[in-house]
Amino acid sequence: MPVITCIEDLRRLHQARVPRMFWEYCESGSYTEQTFHDNSADFAQIRLRQRVARDLSDRRLGGEMIGQQVSMPLAISPTGSAGMQWADGEILGARAAQRFGVPFTLSTMSICSIEDLSEAGVGPFWFQLYVMRDEDFVDGIIERARVAGCPALVVTLDLQVIGQRHKDLKNGLTAPPRLTLPNILNMMTRPAWCLAMARTKRRTFRNIMGHVKGVDDLANLNAWTWEQFEPRLDWSMVQRIRDQWQGKFILKGILDAEDARMAVDVGADAIVVSNHGGRQLDGALSSIRMLPSIVRAVGDRCEVWIDSGIRSGQDLLKALALGATGGMIGRPWLYGLGAMGEAGVTKALEVIRDELDITMALCGERDVADLGRHNLLVPEDFEGAWG
C-alpha cells in the first residue's frame, strides 16, 4: 500500500483504479476549464503569516455547522454518480463522514438512494436537491428526505442548464457505463473496480429510477434527466421550497453578493459560495476570490461556507481566515473513494484535518474560531473590483 501524504496522492491512485470515463467525470470542468483550474490555483496566491513563541497546546478544530457539532468546520459536498467511482460509494462516504464527525450530503443524482443510506444505518445525512420540472418528483423526494430524518436540505441553484463538459461528451458518460469496446477494454484494466461493481445492485440513479412514472430503463432515465433541470427556477420557487421544508435550509451555488442577500431574504440558514467546481460557467471567478465580498454582504445573518477548490487543510484555513464559517469538499473525497473505498474517504478527511491543525499552530493559533485576516498575506489585487 503506498504512503498517502496529501490529497494529490489520492488523486493519482483514483486515476489508476477507476475507469477513465468516471475519473474524467470527476476531474473535468466546462469548456476551457479555466474556472476549474483557478479554483485551486487562486488559493496558492494567498500566503500565510508565520508566528512563533506562542502557547500551542490544547488546539481546537471542532465547532458547529448549522447547529450540528463537527470535528472540524468541513462537510462533504453532494457529488453525482459517486457510486460509480466505487461500488456503493455514497454509503461508504457517509459512513466515513459519520465516524469522522463531519456532515455528509447525498446528491439527487446519487447512485445509492436516500433509502439505501437509511437502510445501511448511516446518518443523519443532509440531502441535496436539484429543482426539476416535474413538481411531483420534487415534492416527493423532499418528503422522502424528511421521512429519512435528513436534518438539512441543500438546494443547488447553479444548474438550471447544464454546462458543457467536453470529456463527458467524448466518453459517452452514462451510469451504468455502456458496454462499448473502448469501455470494456478500459474496465478490464480496473479489475478491482469491476469486481466491486459486480457485487452491488446499485449501478444507476436510484433516487430517480422507480420514483418517476415511465422511467424504468437506462434510455428513458437519461432522456428524462437531461430534460428535467428547471430553467425557470427563480427566487419565488426557492421560497416555495423553503416554506415546504421544516429543517435547516442551505443554498449552494452563490457567487455574487446580490444573490447572497437574496438567499438570506428567502430564509437560508447557510449559503455555499460555489461555482459548481468549475463545471458550469467557465470564466467565472474562483470561489475563494468571491468569498470576501459575499461575507461582507451577508454579515452575521447566516453562515457562509465555501466549496470548489479546497484541496488541503491549508486551503480550508485560508477560507476560514477570509471569513467563511465552514467549507465543503467534493473532489477530495471522491479521490479517496476511488483510491481506497471507505478507507480512502477517511484518509482524505485525516489529511485535511492534520494539515489544518499543523498550519493553524504554525500561524500561532490554537482555535479555528480565532482565525482571521491577521493570519494571511493577501495580494492587493486579489479581490479586484469585488474588494
- Other C-beta atoms lying within 10 Å of the C-beta of residue 168: 17
Listing DSSP states for 182-225 in one string gives: HHHHHHHT-HHHHHHHHT-S--S-TTTTTTSTT--SHHHHHHHH
CA angle, 82 then 85 then 86, to 5°: 100
Write the CB contacts of 290 (distance below 8 Å, at least 6 apart in sequence).
255, 256, 273, 386
Q: Nearest-CA neighbor of 289 among 23, 10, 12, 44?
A: 44
29 φ, ψ (degrees, to nearest 5): -120, 180
Cell numbers standing for residue 77? 459536498
Residues 39 and 277: their CA atoms lie apart, in Å, by: 7
> What angle do the packed helices 7-17 and 342-362 form, to 10 degrees?
160
Q: Catalytic amino acids?
A: 276
CA angle, 344 then 63 then 90, to 5°: 30
Residues 111 and 104: their CA atoms lie apart, in Å, by: 15
83 φ, ψ (degrees, to nearest 5): -70, -5
Q: DSSP H helical segments within the chain, as ranges?
A: 7-17, 20-26, 34-44, 82-85, 89-100, 114-119, 135-147, 166-171, 181-188, 191-198, 218-228, 235-244, 257-265, 287-298, 313-321, 331-340, 342-362
Contact 288, 43 (CB under 8 A): yes
Contact 181, 30 (CB under 8 A): no
Contact 307, 273 (CB under 8 A): yes
CB neighbour class for 232 (10 Å; exposed up to 12, middle 13-18, buried from 19): exposed
